[in-house]
C-alpha cells in the first residue's frame, strides 16, 4: 500500500483485520521515503463512528506523514 486507504465502514470490507472490536471506520496513511518507493511506517487511525474521516482529515494526516518522514530521515542521518 503506497497510498492512503480510507475505509468508511470496516464491516463492509472483507480485507479488514479487526484490531479493536468497536472500530467502524479506519484511515491508514503511509509514510514513504523521499523517492516514494519504500514505506517507512504508517499512520493508522480508527474510529467508532462510520465515515469518521473526511477529505480534510485525509489531507491533514498526509501532511503529518510528510513531516514524520522528514523527522525520520533527519534521525537516520544523525545516527550514521
Residue 18 confidence (pLDDT): 84
CA distance 9 to 50: 6
The grid cell for 58 is 485525509
User: The CATH number of the domain where 40 resides is what?
Assistant: 3.30.450.40
CA distance 50 to 72: 32
Residue 10 CA, distance from chain mean position: 15
Structure confidence at residue 79 as a pLDDT band (50, 70, 90): confident
Full residue range of the structural domain in which residue 65 is found: 5-78
pLDDT digits (tens, 9 = 90+) for 18-65: 888 899 999 999 999 989 899 999 999 999 999 999 999 999 999 999
Whether the per-residue pLDDT at 68 is higher than 90: the answer is yes
Q: Which of 42, 33, 40 is nearest to 6 (CA)?
A: 42
Domain count, the chain: 1
Amino acid at each position: 500500500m503506497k497510498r492512503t486507504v480510507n475505509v468508511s465502514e470496516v464491516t463492509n470490507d472483507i480485507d479488514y483485520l479487526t484490531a479493536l472490536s468497536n472500530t467502524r471506520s479506519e484511515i491508514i496513511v503511509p509514510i514513504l521515503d523521499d523517492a516514494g518507493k519504500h514505506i517507512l511506517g504508517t499512520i493508522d487511525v480508527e474510529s467508532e463512528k462510520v465515515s469518521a474521516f473526511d477529505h480534510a482529515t485525509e489531507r491533514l494526516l498526509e501532511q503529518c506523514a510528510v513531516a514524520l518522514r522528514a523527522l525520520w530521515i533527519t534521525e537516520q542521518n544523525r545516527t550514521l
